[in-house]
Structure 1
Amino acid sequence: MNQFSGLSPQHWQLEERKDGILILSLERKDTSVNTLCQAVLNELDGLLERMAFAPPKGLIIRSTKKAGFIAGADIAEFAEFDAKGTVLDAISNGQNIFQRIAELPCPTVALIHGHCMGGGTELSLACSARVASDDASTRIGLPEVKLGIYPGWGGSVRLPRLVGAPAAFDMMLTGRALSGKAARAIGLVDAVTAPDLMVNKAVEFIEHGVHRPFKQKATAWLSNSWLARQILPGVLTKQVARKARKAHYPAPYSLIDTWRRSGGMPVRAALKQEGYSVAKLAQGPTARNLTRIFFLMERLKSLGGKEHGISHVHVVGAGVMGGDIAAWCALRGFEVTLQDREMQYIQPALDRAETLFAKKVKDETKRTATRARLQADVAGDGAAKADLIIEAIFENLDAKQTLYATLEATMKPDALLVSNTSSIALDTLGAKLSHPARFAGLHYFNPVAMMPLVEIVRHAGMAAETERRLAAFCRSIDKLPVPVAGTPGFLVNRILAPYMQEAILAFSEGIPGRAIDKAALDFGMPMGPIELVDTVGLDVAASVGKIMAEFHGQTLPDALQVTPGKRGKKDGEGLYKWVDGKAVKPELPKDYKAPDDLQDRLVFALLNEAVSCLHQGVVADAELLDAGVIFGTGFAPFRGGPIEHIKAIGRDAALATLKSLEGKYGARFTPKAGWDAL
């Protein structure tokens, strides 16, 4: 390896085999996960430059990290590049380095074991061939669209030419990761084998070449032809438009358009077009806010660490929430006992659990083991064995406190007791407990399997160790924990209540539900508030709304009066009629025009309450508030959260709008304490 004399790489390890094949192993210094920071890339560039002058027989690129191959680019660095205005330079640098790999005068093979995301996948695409391990941990993806950009180190150029445009866009537009087997099926990797045989397979490819199926090569050529690039973009754009608006999420549209224009160009010319497009997106507000959300998610994941000391979970209350919480915990590896008064109340929860397990666990042996972890427990014997007891019965203070007294008599000394209450103050709930330090709220959101957030609800007597353990537990079940104060509504319901109330008031005034929902969707909400009320159920909305109205000194809107058999989606009729699980929204008259301030009424009711929550310390800071509202309500992610949105439009401009609404609609829009501190 004389050509490398004088180099002392910090992140790459060199090994020259007797057969002349060079193995280059990535071991990024001082981190548990490989990411492609500039130091890693620049070292690689220097090594590749030497190889170009004295090429080995073949090059194998792999990772020595147990966590996986490469997790992608160093996102923190890209945030710095954005601040400095050097994003295009960073993109071009990565493109040029990967192009060096592609132009090496020797075969190159990437060995993919564990996670391979973003820039890691793009590096592998620059190689002659790819070998993936058959391990369940191996996942290969290009998730950049979730950050408001798309693959910019050659991925959007090389992937369509390798596997064909349809399969490539399915990966890039969804950000979905593939197993090794699924990647082999589309031609992304050339072989899947056991981890200890990967080097042997790579050597075989270097010595004998890679022979790809004619069908794959034909599909790749045809789907990138001029004719295909005139037809396919229209189809793809329509598919994207059903899920994301161009004004809100421009990246998918830019990806499709750039491929349409440059898909037939030579690679270097296409890379230049890719670079310009991705750099423009990276410096836009959507990418900045989605990148911020990524860091918020990482912050939530880090709360509490990993050690929680919980292996057995006991859930009391087998209704929709309790049953689904129990099923989710069993899915994530915990022993779970589910208690209710009679088996007839538990069985529906077990049936729903079976549906969840069938969807999430494809291996029958593993599914059987998962099913076995969830046990019906009418007698409640599991409470004495549990490390965590979750109370999820109906919202009645006396009933909950009576249950707590029974549970405390049998609980283990270090077991935690939590309530999934959505509205009752924790200080009130725990007032009669013997051990309030080990009591907290653990508020899940419906549907449990889809909603990522869990609120850890504090109260005056709760121990800090209880909060830490619960945060660690949330992470172990793939949920994002946000610690909140135990005031009525906590964080998410408190902020959401005025928004939904304003929607109901507008509906009561005769504004059509479709128009109200459209105003919210135009802002970027995932579902309109009228449809949301029906989905939650008018009975549930009225129950929470009553508590929040009393808290704010207001009255509940008349439209939230519950009529038997008309509670919303679950009854087939509420504010809308429902058919086959979908809301039937009457068409608006052709000449109908919604009030100009309708969207402001909805959004500023929410923003005003968010400012109040921040001021009153419901959460520790603005970042946690934004994270909680985004992950708990789906608040337009591209806007970065309520407080970030206020910053974007300007505090003074926001206050002016709020005061205008106050003048027109009254005291509910009076700016709450906290605006001056923003």
Structure 2
Amino acid sequence: MFKTASRPLPNLKDWRFSVDEWGIGWAEFDREGENQNSLGRRPLEELGEIVAVVEKGARDKSIRGLVIISAKERGFIVGADIREFADLKTESEVIEKLRAVTALFDHIERLPAPVVCAINGFCLGGGLELALACHYRIATRDSGTKLGFPEVKLGIFPGFNGTARSIRLAGAPAAMQAMLTGKMLSASAARGMGLVDQLVDSRGALPWAARKAVLRNRKSKPAGFAKKLLSMWPARDLLAKRMRSEVAKKAREDHYPAPYRLIDLFERYGANDEAMKAAETRAFAPLMVSDQSRNLRRVFWLSELLKGQAPKKLAWRPSRVHVIGAGTMGADIAGWCVARGMEVTLQDVSPEQITKGIAAQGKLFARKFKTKAQRDAAKARLIADPNGEGIARADVVIEAIVENLAIKQKVLSEIEAKMKPGAVLATNTSSLLIEDIAAGLPDPGRLIGLHFFNPVALMPLVEVVRGSQTREEDVKRGAAFVTAIDKFPLITKSVPGFLVNRVLTPYMFGAMVRLEHGEDKERIDEAARAFGMPMGPIELADTVGLDVCAHVAHILKFSSEGSKLDRLVAEGKLGKKSGEGFYVWEGGKPQKTGRVFDKAEMEKLGRDLVEPLIAEAQRAVDEQVVENADLVDAGVIFGTGFAPFRGGPLHYKAAQSPAVPAQAAAAE
């Protein structure tokens, strides 16, 4: 970095601290034994030692300033160490922990020498709160540099005084939006908001820019007067009401209280930094020890568990994909792979269908890529290939044609001979057994299932299905491919419905039986949402497609003969895609009466509706469809949207059992 004059703290474990020839202190964060930096107890204690040395040096003129930078190549700080959250059992323990950290950050903010934060890679949660306590922030323009407050996804909000500091720097509308949504921001967007002061082109440029900022004593400027006005009454009151209205469209207060408590905090204290800081700690503590936060932290842990399904050390790296079938699912799989940097060839018997499938990816590319050059590059990577010429070059070949056993067998047997050694051969079947599809292949051990969910761009899970003859190395490559396209892999046994459809089907058909017995569809759907499901089972059936539901019912031996489902399918009323199913659909939305139902009744009915799903989830564990109960919970949450704040169906079941105290069952 720069020539080192001294190392005042040689025994640090997680930081390296040195003072260079210009008298600038360099605090390099490199958490011992970890791939990423996170703020745990020891790193914070060591940072406190560094700050004390800098303060002493600033006062005796031996230190001119401090730069806080990461020694990790691809990240600054991913946030607080949530593994340590489980140790905090009471509100008083949370408050004690928070006050120690906020005192340290206040100490940094009050240092008499300039403190510059140099950011490359992820700067999230507590990491961003530390950055905001510094006097000046420089970040790289690299696409991998992302800033944000994801705490709301864990059932909390920023607790290291990031609420007040972000509002002071960015203004209330932008700062509150960032905290309420938990979305990550590019470095350019963060600079536009005022959370970052300067951008540089590369990681290598950060130290020089930081040195110059210290020597020139650069300081951030708070939000301008116009933005400050929005934190004043009555604008603050109106803004808070609007934010509550927007949050209510996406989350119920009894399910996800954190965004509502954040709005309360802003509404009451938004014009007073110091009062907001003090109130932030008091409001944060009950959220941290709540069941919702414990369960949402469990969901985060489950997502890491799914990532672990892919081997960490595998020399094979996929870059080219060939997709056969340019219908909605095949084209969307191809588009997603392109959006994640792959080159994709798309094959179909109909050239017109290929053209249509490629055109449909324009919306995805518009969302994912900000510049025309990036969008054009993505379009160039999605190649029409009616003759299947890309098969020989592909690292992964995915068949995504009609759900017909004989046709799948024929297509796969024709393409296997054209594939290069070591390439993955996969079928996107949603219900057929891998063994049956592979029966006609020269090498049946090569075939795996890669079951994507619709819509591909929104659903994070992909089931990696292992047939009885499938080789383990092909399963590992399949899981590695799924992580390479930023999805969560779940390795499942080849059984009817695999995991997700298996547990979802009795839930949906249990609701349809109620419908057959005269219960109101809106009442059923509202009860499911009251439980925490993203949509009700009847609306879900319409969204999936009633023809698909009927087909899965047949595979899983759920009799629907003579039912309303069968009658609607026979009439061509297939749900959302045809404009009518159980509901009439207009503008992509089901038309409902908007009736209001009794809350207690909805809560009871909601619990009753999910009982078949929970029972089937337990059977999936007993029959080892996946490796363990935690993976069942993970698959059902990320594959169906099962109420995340409940921690998964089996976790929820355990929490309701008299034999298991709910508090213990909710622990990480």
Taking structure 1 as the reference length, the TM-score comes to 0.90
Letter of the structure 1 residue corresponding to residue 22 of structure 2: D
Residues 21 and 57, structure 1, Cα contact 8 Å, conserved in 2: yes
Residues 163 and 219, structure 1, Cα contact 8 Å, conserved in 2: no
Q: Deviations over 1:48-106 (max 9, x none)?
A: 12322331322221112111211111111222334998333322221111111011112
Letter of the structure 2 residue corresponding to residue 581 of structure 1: G
Residues 396 and 425, structure 2, Cα contact 8 Å, conserved in 1: yes
Separation of aligned partners in 2, 1:57 and 1:6: 17
Q: 2:474 corresponds to which residue?
A: 466
Q: Where in structure 2 are the equivalents of 1:265-664 lying within 5 Å?
A: 265=272, 267=274, 269-305=275-311, 307=314, 308-550=316-558, 554-556=559-561, 558-561=563-566, 562-588=569-595, 598-650=605-657
Residues 319 and 343, structure 2, Cα contact 8 Å, conserved in 1: yes
* Gap regions ≥5 residues in structure 1: 655-678
Letter of the structure 1 residue corresponding to residue 125 of structure 2: G
Residues 230, 89 of structure 1: CA spacing in aligned structure 2 closer, same or farther, 3 A cutoff? same
- Secondary structure class of the residue paired with 1:178: strand
- Secondary structure class of the residue paired with 1:484: strand
Residues 603, 557 of structure 1: CA spacing in aligned structure 2 closer, same or farther, 3 A cutoff? farther
Letter of the structure 1 residue corresponding to residue 43 of structure 2: V
> How much has 1:329 moved relative to structure 2?
1.6
> How much has 1:256 moved relative to structure 2?
1.5
Residues 531 and 607, structure 2, Cα contact 8 Å, conserved in 1: no
Letter of the structure 2 residue corresponding to residue 374 of structure 1: L
Residues 596, 23 of structure 1: CA spacing in aligned structure 2 closer, same or farther, 3 A cutoff? closer
Instruction: State the percentage of identical aligned residues.
Output: 44
Residues 517 and 531, structure 1, Cα contact 8 Å, conserved in 2: yes
Letter of the structure 1 residue corresponding to residue 77 of structure 2: I
Residues 32 and 67, structure 1, Cα contact 8 Å, conserved in 2: no
Q: 1:666 corresponds to which residue?
A: none
Letter of the structure 1 residue corresponding to residue 141 of structure 2: D
Is 1:253 aligned with 2:260?
yes
> How much has 1:230 moved relative to structure 2?
3.2
> How much has 1:526 moved relative to structure 2?
0.7
Residues 54 and 66, structure 2, Cα contact 8 Å, conserved in 1: no
Residues 511 and 594, structure 1, Cα contact 8 Å, conserved in 2: no
Residues 44, 361 of structure 1: CA spacing in aligned structure 2 closer, same or farther, 3 A cutoff? same
Q: Deviations over 1:380-427 (max 9, x none)?
A: 232233232211111111111122221233232322221111111222
Residues 464 and 475, structure 2, Cα contact 8 Å, conserved in 1: yes
Q: 1:9 corresponds to which residue?
A: 12
Residues 162 and 220, structure 1, Cα contact 8 Å, conserved in 2: no
> How much has 1:450 moved relative to structure 2?
0.9
- Secondary structure class of the residue paired with 2:375: helix
Q: 1:44 corresponds to which residue?
A: 47
Residues 472, 593 of structure 1: CA spacing in aligned structure 2 closer, same or farther, 3 A cutoff? closer
Moved more, 588-597 or 614-623: 588-597
Separation of aligned partners in 1, 2:43 and 2:374: 39
Residues 7, 346 of structure 1: CA spacing in aligned structure 2 closer, same or farther, 3 A cutoff? closer
Q: Deviations over 1:427-459 (max 9, x none)?
A: 222223221221111100001111110001111
Residues 510, 81 of structure 1: CA spacing in aligned structure 2 closer, same or farther, 3 A cutoff? same
Q: 1:99 corresponds to which residue?
A: 106
Q: Deviations over 1:157-206 (max 9, x none)?
A: 21112211111101100111111211111111111223344344434444
CA RMSD of aligned residues (A): 2.5
> How much has 1:597 moved relative to structure 2?
5.2
Separation of aligned partners in 1, 2:423 and 2:608: 45
Separation of aligned partners in 2, 1:640 and 1:242: 22
Residues 449 and 465, structure 2, Cα contact 8 Å, conserved in 1: yes
Residues 226, 440 of structure 1: CA spacing in aligned structure 2 closer, same or farther, 3 A cutoff? same
Residues 545 and 556, structure 1, Cα contact 8 Å, conserved in 2: no
Q: 1:140 corresponds to which residue?
A: 147
Separation of aligned partners in 2, 1:85 and 1:263: 24
> How much has 1:589 moved relative to structure 2?
8.5
Separation of aligned partners in 2, 1:41 and 1:594: 48
- Secondary structure class of the residue paired with 1:54: helix
Residues 420 and 441, structure 1, Cα contact 8 Å, conserved in 2: yes
> How much has 1:580 moved relative to structure 2?
1.3
Residues 4 and 50, structure 1, Cα contact 8 Å, conserved in 2: no
Residues 546 and 556, structure 1, Cα contact 8 Å, conserved in 2: no
Residues 190 and 210, structure 1, Cα contact 8 Å, conserved in 2: no
Residues 136 and 220, structure 2, Cα contact 8 Å, conserved in 1: no
- Secondary structure class of the residue paired with 1:24: strand
Residues 428, 128 of structure 1: CA spacing in aligned structure 2 closer, same or farther, 3 A cutoff? same
Q: 1:169 corresponds to which residue?
A: 176
Separation of aligned partners in 2, 1:248 and 1:84: 20
Separation of aligned partners in 1, 2:73 and 2:352: 47
Q: 1:81 corresponds to which residue?
A: 88
Residues 545 and 577, structure 2, Cα contact 8 Å, conserved in 1: yes
Residues 542 and 581, structure 2, Cα contact 8 Å, conserved in 1: yes
- Secondary structure class of the residue paired with 2:593: coil
- Secondary structure class of the residue paired with 1:549: coil
Separation of aligned partners in 1, 2:218 and 2:319: 48
Residues 512 and 588, structure 1, Cα contact 8 Å, conserved in 2: no
Letter of the structure 2 residue corresponding to residue 292 of structure 1: R
Q: Deviations over 1:262-312 (max 9, x none)?
A: 334452x54332222222111111111111111111121122235334332
Separation of aligned partners in 1, 2:7 and 2:594: 71
Separation of aligned partners in 2, 1:521 and 1:399: 39
Residues 394, 274 of structure 1: CA spacing in aligned structure 2 closer, same or farther, 3 A cutoff? same
- Secondary structure class of the residue paired with 1:545: helix
Residues 143, 582 of structure 1: CA spacing in aligned structure 2 closer, same or farther, 3 A cutoff? same
Residues 593, 624 of structure 1: CA spacing in aligned structure 2 closer, same or farther, 3 A cutoff? closer
Separation of aligned partners in 2, 1:591 and 1:18: 72
Residues 114 and 218, structure 2, Cα contact 8 Å, conserved in 1: no
Q: 1:33 corresponds to which residue?
A: 36
Q: Deviations over 1:29-65 (max 9, x none)?
A: 2222111111110011112123223313222211121
Separation of aligned partners in 2, 1:415 and 1:111: 42
Letter of the structure 2 residue corresponding to residue 157 of structure 1: A
Residues 114 and 219, structure 2, Cα contact 8 Å, conserved in 1: no
Letter of the structure 2 residue corresponding to residue 633 of structure 1: T
Q: 2:666 corresponds to which residue?
A: none
Separation of aligned partners in 1, 2:584 and 2:643: 26
> How much has 1:3 moved relative to structure 2?
11
Residues 3 and 54, structure 1, Cα contact 8 Å, conserved in 2: no
- Secondary structure class of the residue paired with 1:41: helix
Q: Deviations over 1:298-346 (max 9, x none)?
A: 1211222353343322211111111111121222222222221120221
Q: 1:662 corresponds to which residue?
A: none
Residues 615, 82 of structure 1: CA spacing in aligned structure 2 closer, same or farther, 3 A cutoff? same
Q: 1:20 corresponds to which residue?
A: 23
Residues 114 and 138, structure 1, Cα contact 8 Å, conserved in 2: yes
- Secondary structure class of the residue paired with 2:68: strand
